[in-house]
Amino acid sequence: MGTAGTAGTAGASSAGPAKGRPGFGAPPLPVWWVLWLGLLAGFLQVWQFGRRVAPPATTPAGETAVALVGLGFLLLSAAIRWLLLPRMTRARVAFIFFIVGLALAEACGYFGVFLGGSRRDLLVAGGIVGLLQFLPRFARRFFVPPA
């Protein structure tokens, strides 16, 4: 008897988030900056320790494929930054694409650090440029009203 009365309310509350509920909006602008700076600093620290190992003198067979995958991540990251993010009108959706783009750019750099071989420096430089392009200055428009 107790479960029959709660079955109807459970279905109604799972229909979707209410518009007024706290915690479902976009994070404030300082969170964007802290995430960007933290990911950039963390990647630079990994690169600092990872570059101590000398790359191999010869090019292994699969190294070209690794470089192409890493550059593909970088190109996808750049497409998100320069084609999708400028068209976003909602900060919440833009924040999701911001995180995805940062992750793809960072993946290019990590491919360079751990799998890059003789193309390590190219992929790491691409990862750093990819992270720098996501400097969250663009996100200000979501939080400051137009003048």
Rounded-to-integer distance, Cα 144 and Cα 94, Å? 15
Q: In the prediction, which pLDDT does 62 show?
A: 80
Number of domains in the chain: 1
- Residue 106 resides in a domain: yes
| 3 domain-assigned | no
> What letter would DSSP give residue 140?
G
SS3 75: helix
pLDDT band at 125 (very low <50, low <70, confident <90, very high): very high
Instruction: Supply the mean pLDDT for the chain.
Output: 85
pTM: 0.79
The helix/strand/coil state of 37 is helix
Say if 14 falls within a structural domain: no
Q: Is residue 1 part of a domain?
A: no
Per-residue pLDDT reduced to its tens digit, 20-79:
455 568 899 999 999 999 999 999 999 998 887 777 666 677 888 889 999 999 999 999
Range of the domain at 136: 26-50+63-142
pLDDT at 139: 93
- Answer positive or negative: Cα dihedral of 50, 51, 57, 60: positive
| Predicted confidence (pLDDT) at residue 5 exceeds the cutoff of 70 | no
